[in-house]
Structure 1
């Protein structure tokens, strides 16, 4: 290829990257890419077959830059703590710098073709890193794949736009490294679950009488539409799901849909809030029986994954909303964080949870739990997906005590 051809190809990639950032993958078009690039459609097809090829090349380019830096850091000398901080810095800086691209990866059109492979490539590097350090006796011998996806999730959630000023990169790296090295367990005495009972959870408290009252006809119809939307959107994603298919699945007329929702966007917002309230209710009905915040973390995590396993299709909506309706996705994450922050703060005051910046801690725990759920449940193609027991046990160990070897 000539120098001019290489320059044109590079310009197309740059323009496409910006279009994807602005409109997402599904909402982008070759005509918009060529318009911004200042070339004809015919010129575009001299270099790329379609926009999928462009996106795949962008993904490869972003990954190759990460891997080039990772190779340099592999040779880092010094203490384990220094190597850990450098490993965290690499991923956190990469995630922050390329967050617009990572947000696009939440679109359902890309999940099976790009997203899973992208994160697996990054996880592979961290699996190797944590495996080497465990073999050298520098950390607990926990599942390295679990640790890798935990770290991916933590870095992702701290790169989200929460509508406020971000912590500096340096301080964020220090906090993340400290958390995964030492965990969250505080100095207060704790009656731990006996061996073999770490994954047991209490029975749920009965629902309040108001929650158990029969629904009105309108409420029944609304919930039927939500359940149908969960299935249809789970199959097709937000962009490709259409209202007529949802109403057929729900067994209601198209006109009935518009009695309850003004548009598909209104439905998505209502569905996300409905699922959020159902999930928080299920978690709270069991967590309320715990007396120590460490038990609340343990029980809450297990109940969340039980809920996710039953609603795995709809959970694809949450990351997809980050590109399509950022206000809805931000509402979802902030609503989850509100209760989390309050519970963690109370745990710190009792000495059950180690003194850490509480907002930082809440977002970290949300991130690692979220990405483990994506990896082993949402992205899992098995008929009955679930998180292996040893992964759950290792997660609890990491969350409570961190990676530092037992003294």
Structure 2
């Protein structure tokens, strides 16, 4: 019985590894070629597997792209996780979330560009794109509103507008970081100064 479980665990690990290899290959193809030019043949070539193996794990190119898009969404949700930090320490909360959100954007910028283009014609991709963009703005606005009610900040504008401002700064700085025109640390410090000024600090 123990040997049977060991064999099953080895098989599961191999499955997980192959699944991950296909996702890695697909991501590289989408980022380099765009959605339209990426084919299942290209994904399997990069992964070093057969077309039949691809279909063991994914039903279509659309499905593998959707999985990658969901990974991006989940990465941004993790970026705004405030576990282990005092939510009322506004300066610390802002510095951390600005940094983690910018890092997530830099890591995923190429795929996000493809996702943004695909969202124009694909309703499911549009929904995921709105989650990625909208959830961060909503969480930021909610946090600013809570801190304003508690008297810890004095926002210079509507919290929702400030949330959109933050998203805009993040989207502007990420390509500069990728291009080597600035660093994450420099961008974070600049955005943090702007944010604190907008909150009356």
TM-score of the superposition, structure 1-length normalised? 0.42
Whole-Å Cα distance in 2 between the matches of residues 99 and 40 of structure 1? 29
Q: 8 Å contact 1:138–1:404 — kept in the other structure? A: no
Question: What displacement does 1:170 show?
Answer: 1.6
What is the CA-CA distance between 1:164 and the residue it aligns to? 5.7
- Is the Cα–Cα contact under 8 Å of residues 84 and 177 in structure 1 kept in the other structure? yes
Taking the TM superposition and a 5 Å limit, the aligned residue runs for 1:297-316 are none
Aligned partner of 2:4 in structure 1 is none
Please state if 1:45 is matched with 2:55.
yes
CA contact (8 A) 1:59 1:118 kept: no
Structure 2 partner of 1:114: 128
Pairwise CA distance, 1:82? 2.2
Task: Specify every segment of 5 or more residues in structure 1 that has no aligned partner in the other structure, as ranges.
Answer: 183-401
1:75–1:148 CA distance, 2 compared to 1 (3 A): farther
Secondary structure of residue in 1 paired with 2:27: helix
- Equivalent-residue separation in structure 2 for 1:123 and 1:45 (angstroms): 37
Residue 76 in 1 paired to residue 85 in 2? yes
Larger proportion of helix = 2
Aligned mates of 2:70, 2:182 — CA distance in 1: 29
Query: Which residue, out of 109, 125, 136, partners 2:150?
Result: 136
Change (3 A) 1:171 1:61: same
Q: How many equivalent residue pairs?
A: 185
The corresponding residue for 2:200 is: 404
Question: Does the CA-based 8 Å contact 2:75-2:104 persist in structure 1?
Answer: no
Q: CA deviation at 1:49?
A: 1.4
Counterpart of 2:105 in structure 1 is 95
CA root-mean-square deviation: 2.5
In 1, the alpha carbon distance for the partners of 2:33 and 2:161 equals 33
Q: Give the whole-Å Cα distance in 2 for the aligned partners of 1:27 and 1:33.
A: 11
CA 100–163 in structure 1, closer or farther in 2 if over 3 Å, else same: closer
Structure with higher Rg: it is 1
